[in-house]
Amino acid sequence: MQKTIKSIIILILVFILGIFFLALNKNSNYDTEHLIGNKLLNIKLDSFENNKIISNEDLKENQFTLINFWASWCAPCRDEHPYLMELSNENNLNIIGVNFKDKKTYALKFLKSYGNPYDILAKDLKGKQSVSFGVYGIPESILIDNKFVIKKKFIGPINKNDLNDIKDIIK
């Protein structure tokens, strides 16, 4: 009986240590490379201005769409904003701004102060819709084509290099 108990305890310890070592070897970096080339299906975002739902049909107009997740309280969002303003001048690019866990009055004040680069404004008051896009923090942006294929995902604020990458992709 004692031999059986010792064997079970050793087996449990080996199992726990095995799980521990597997967890240590797991890559904990947030990687989105696997998303590139996949399609965004069933896009549903709440409109910022009214009760309309923004869907795939609203995104077919231009050759490319950049979906940008932002908030007025987000300091890095302020850093990327001039680049979004520059991208808003591109003819074959729509920019959708998804206001993330923000108050409407603050968001409108932000856009009035810094400019509005967005062709379409959406809101995600609880942050639940953003998770379906693979967004876990802001700012994040997703560049898709008119067939809803993800061309690139940007984690963190868009910078000069990202701006040039986007311009190269949408040429």
- Enumerate long-range contacts of 124-132, CB under 8 Å, 24 or more apart: 124/45, 124/46, 124/69, 124/98, 124/99, 124/100, 125/46, 125/101, 126/101, 127/100, 127/101, 129/44, 129/45, 129/46, 129/98, 130/69, 130/98, 130/100
The one catalytic residue in 54, 71, 74, 98 is 74
Q: Is 151 a catalytic residue?
A: no
The one catalytic residue in 67, 77, 107, 143 is 77
Q: Is 61 a catalytic residue?
A: no
Just list the catalytic residues.
74, 77
